[in-house]
Amino acid sequence: MTHPIRPFPNGGSAPLIPKPHNPLLRQCPQCAAEIPLVRFQVHGVCEAPACVQAKAMCAAQARAATDLPVGAPLRAELTERAGQALATLMQGEESDIDDLPMVAVPHQNTPLSPVSEERRALLAKSLDTHIAEAFETAEQDITLQYPLEEEEPDFPASDMACAMCQGQCCILGASHGFIKGEILQRQRLRQPGLTPEALKAYYMGQVPEVSTAGACIFQGERGCALPRRDRSRICNTHGCSGRKALESLEDDFPGRPIAVATYGKAGIAAIKLHGSKGEEAIWPGAGTPGQS
């Protein structure tokens, strides 16, 4: 068997011997650490407090996404809460409030906290694992599932909704930020000759001083600390049911006014209208929007 050759930092080279598969071990989905199969089956993550907290927050996020009102209940609540304000703004539009699409999305307001050394260590461990896997493939042999540089879709109302939500789905990024697989290979193709050390150093250097507690380590004060092109593809393409509904509306009816409401634990957090004048706050206004 011929093993791929990996260059050493000092210029030498040695064969990269793949790890033998141990059927009694699994990878923690949060930090990529090896854990016993029994723990994986029972708990799903390793014992690190950050990974346990991330799992709990992911479960809460999944429950919240199923509790959003749709259809007639949503229309009744938004009309009762902000019907007059919506009707006033709709006077300058080609349609009226009775035809106004209304969509609900989640809202998270988990406080920011300093990024602990434990979380940085978990990210470093995850990067070590996934970068090593990425470099098992020689640069000239890399194949991507999607184009190297993808065109960003234009969905302004959907982007507004994501900023209003403030990153409920980003909770899933935990201490790994989904930096694995194809995004690492994309970086290698964009920067020929990129070394594992430089790739790891880049992502470690993007960690903000404070991030959303228990959520994605890159989810900072102004949204995601990573430029779009450096995020995992799932971060740029994933959408909750509310966002997917908005994208369908924007695709089918470009420019049509749309009302968006965000729901937190206490009910409606904010309502905005996206119309011909762009986005307009209705009630009472979302928090400072981050990057979408």
CB neighbours of 23 closer than 8 A, spacing ≥ 6?
37
Q: What pLDDT was estimated at residue 222?
A: 86
Most confident of 32-41, 129-138, 245-254: 129-138
Return the ∠ at Cα 261 (arms to 276 and 95), rounded to 5°: 35
Q: What percent of the chain has pLDDT over 70?
A: 86
Each residue of 58-106: pLDDT tens digit? 666 555 555 677 788 888 888 888 888 888 888 877 777 888 899 999 8
- Are β-strands 112-114 and 210-212 bridged in parallel, bridged antiparallel, or unpaired? antiparallel
272: its two tokens: 């905005």
Mean pLDDT, to the nearest integer, of 239-255? Answer: 87
Largest CA distance in the chain: 73
Q: What pLDDT was estimated at residue 289?
A: 38
Return the ∠ at Cα 103 (arms to 251 and 250), rounded to 5°: 10
Q: What pLDDT was estimated at residue 18?
A: 43
Q: Decide which of 36 and 5 is more confident.
A: 36
Mean pLDDT, to the nearest integer, of 11-31? Answer: 60
Most confident of 160-169, 185-194, 277-286: 185-194
Domain extent listing, the chain: 23-283
Confidence of residue 169 (pLDDT cuts 50, 70, 90): confident
pLDDT of residue 38 exceeding 90: no
Supply the DSSP symbol for 287: S
pLDDT of residue 188 exceeding 90: yes
Q: What pLDDT was estimated at residue 3?
A: 40
Confidence of residue 291 (pLDDT cuts 50, 70, 90): very low
Q: Decide which of 124 and 31 is more confident.
A: 124
Burial pattern 162-179, b for ≥16 Cβ within 10 A else e, equals bbbbbbbbbbbbbbbbbb
3-state secondary structure 87-106: HHHHCCCCCCHHHCCEEEEE
Report H helices in the chain: 37-43, 49-65, 71-90, 117-134, 156-165, 182-190, 196-205, 233-237, 241-252
pLDDT of residue 205 exceeding 80: yes
Mean pLDDT, to the nearest integer, of 44-50? Answer: 78
Q: What pLDDT was estimated at residue 59?
A: 65
285 phi/psi in degrees, rounded to 5: 120, 135
Q: Average model confidence (pLDDT) for the chain? A: 82
Residues found in the chain: 292
